[in-house]
Structure 1
Amino acid sequence: MVPNNKVRAKLKAISLGFMCLCSFEIAAQSGWTKEKTEGFYQLGFQTMKSDNYYALNGEKLETNQFSQQSLVFYGEYGVTDKFNIIANWPLQTWNGFETTETVGGLGDLRLEFKHALLKKYFPLSISVAPELPIGKANHFAQSIVNDFEQINLPSGDGEFNVWSTLASSFALPNIPFYGNIFTSYNFRTEYEGISFSDQFALGAEIGYHISGFVWVNARLNALKSVDNIAVATDFVRGDGSEYTSYSFGAAVPVYKNIQVNLNYRNFNDWIYSRKNIYSSGVFSLGVYYEYKPKK
């Protein structure tokens, strides 16, 4: 389906709103920190396809199918028992519509500095995570229908922004069950003279260890823009994006400290209604390694 002029114009308000979502939900925020020299390192692949775009006013539009695949590195390292460094980096992100070529590139690097405020009885942490705009902020995909048309599908948003997060966790003493809750604030800046609205996020996660073998989890996350964005000032930066998402995952050991995890994520309007995003299921497959020093 080739969109009409009205839909094509509204398409220009979309692309990066969803790109940011895929990169940052590899691991949920928690109140725990790694012990000194402990590490967690994951390489994950995520994929989604959707022709359902939710405009800034919440209107659902049917467009050409948009697809995105990402190869993402995620790592945590315990500098001390109470201070961790976390990296979340899309090593390559591929974007395209069914009527365009697919373009790819390096994504923005998010570095998180996490400190445990409380650790033993009531795990509570605070973190600050600058996102460095090292990805391709402008990457045009040529139309395969009309040679004179193209659309910007970048792998990075071009702006410097900072996430601040407060998270808490709990674990039951005699049952392999845990929970996490968090709230975050994203201070956004600008790109090429255009300022963007800050964002507010919240989330919760529960998990259970089945028969001492498989970890399963469920998550609920929500994102809302601080300002009410009525008109898209830029068509690739996700300004005004809002959503509620839910996900289910499982992790299975394959060899010593190496595990494989599967995850499915989708979007709805439970807390915040969908705005300025493509909405569909996101499937991810990851392989991770946990390092624990011998004591």
Structure 2
Amino acid sequence: MQFQNTLIARLKAVGLGFMCLFALDVTAQSGWTKEKTEGFYQLNFQSLKSDNYFTLDGEQLETNQFSQQSLVFYGEYGVTDKFTIIANWPLQTWNSFETTETVSGIGDLRLEFKHALLKKYFPLSIAVAPEIPIGKANHFAKSKVNDFEQINLPSGDGEFNVWTTLATSFALPNIPFYGNLFSAYNFRTEYKGVSFSDQFAVGAEIGYHIADFVWVNARLNALKSVDEVEVATDFVRGDGSEYTGYSFGASVPVYKNIHVSLNYRNYTDWVFERKNIYSSGVLGVGVYYEHKPKKP
């Protein structure tokens, strides 16, 4: 049976990293913090469809098409000029294979506490971001071919983990051009007695304001596991996932401080080779609102 054979191959080969594809890549890290009471709030819808799966050994396999759509909330609020609180939360994620039903649920909530180490001439920040496992850690999708078969497609990974990020930024004084650089470390714990490898990430972004109207940006992010994961302990928790991701985006104002954004993201092997991940283009469209405090 096609579904059963494909399922067994996936169970033997790997652990999917699809839970982290969307939430962590909504926005790039920067060295800037918000001004006091300044806010940024975004809703973004993203979609991925892929039958290209990369195993823990980096081998590319063709499987039944995996599909994931996600509606993600992202928000930043300036508590003080040097301290910003950030929320990154998939409000709903839909997962399926072409041979299964679609299952959905909320994702894990990531809360980030960001402090400016330097702000004026050389923006530099450090952030600590616990990820709270409130999503569905087990959610089984039934096969459309055989009612007695099912596969676990959760919307959360079930484990508590903490990201620590160091980021810096620059902006040119007379040209609407900026850049960001960051490095991050993800301290992972366990789920039901199964421990996971920590991860580290690096990334860069550049952006330009065209004709004082359209913001465009390009990003490069890379993720790698600290430990060499040779055997998938649990195929739905993303243990051993690695990749290099690149993206291009644009945003335009539509009414006062409300903007519409469009983003395209894909994965490659430039920095770190793809492992334990479904790889394909991810298209995102969103709307965001910026609140600027009134100056005295």
Give the TM-score of the pair, scaled to structure 2: 0.97
Q: How many Å separate the matches in 2 of 1:263 and 1:284?
A: 5
Counterparts of residues 22-61 of structure 1 (less than 5 Å):
22-61=22-61
**2:7 match:** 8
Counterparts of residues 282-293 of structure 1 (less than 5 Å):
282-293=282-293
Equivalent residue of 1:122, what SS?
coil
Q: How many Å separate the matches in 2 of 1:10 and 1:222?
A: 27
**2:241 match:** 241
Q: Contact 1:47/1:69 (CA < 8 Å) preserved in 2?
A: yes
Q: How many Å separate the matches in 1 of 2:251 and 2:3?
A: 40
Give the TM-score of the pair, scaled to structure 1: 0.98
The aligned amino acid for 1:96 is S
Give the drift of 1:19. Answer: 2.0
**2:150 match:** 150
Give the drift of 1:96. Answer: 0.1
Quick check: 1:111 aligned with 2:105?
Answer: no
Give the drift of 1:9. Answer: 2.3
The aligned amino acid for 1:51 is D
Counterparts of residues 1-295 of structure 1 (less than 5 Å):
2=2, 5=5, 7-12=6-11, 16-295=16-295
Equivalent residue of 1:209, what SS?
strand
Give the drift of 1:22. Answer: 1.0
Q: Contact 2:15/2:232 (CA < 8 Å) preserved in 1?
A: no
The alignment of Structure 1 onto Structure 2 pairs a total of residues equal to 294
Equivalent residue of 1:79, what SS?
strand
The aligned amino acid for 2:49 is K
Give the drift of 1:4. Answer: 6.7
Q: How many Å separate the matches in 2 of 1:123 and 1:65?
A: 43
The aligned amino acid for 1:89 is W
Q: How many Å separate the matches in 2 of 1:124 and 1:75?
A: 20
Q: Contact 1:162/1:188 (CA < 8 Å) preserved in 2?
A: yes
Give the drift of 1:151. Answer: 0.3
Q: Contact 2:14/2:231 (CA < 8 Å) preserved in 1?
A: no
Q: How many Å separate the matches in 1 of 2:51 and 2:10?
A: 11
For structure 1, which segment, 175-184 or 21-30, has the greater mean C-alpha deviation from structure 2 after superposition? Answer: 21-30
Q: Contact 1:168/1:180 (CA < 8 Å) preserved in 2?
A: yes
Equivalent residue of 2:2, what SS?
coil
State the identity as a percent.
80
Give the drift of 1:25. Answer: 1.1
Equivalent residue of 2:19, what SS?
helix
Give the drift of 1:146. Answer: 1.2
Q: Which sections of structure 1, spanning at least 5 residues, go unmatched?
A: none
Q: How many Å separate the matches in 2 of 1:98 and 1:49?
A: 10
Q: Contact 1:2/1:99 (CA < 8 Å) preserved in 2?
A: no
Q: Deviations over 1:89-113 (max 9, x none)?
A: 0000000000000000010000000
Give the drift of 1:14. Answer: 5.5
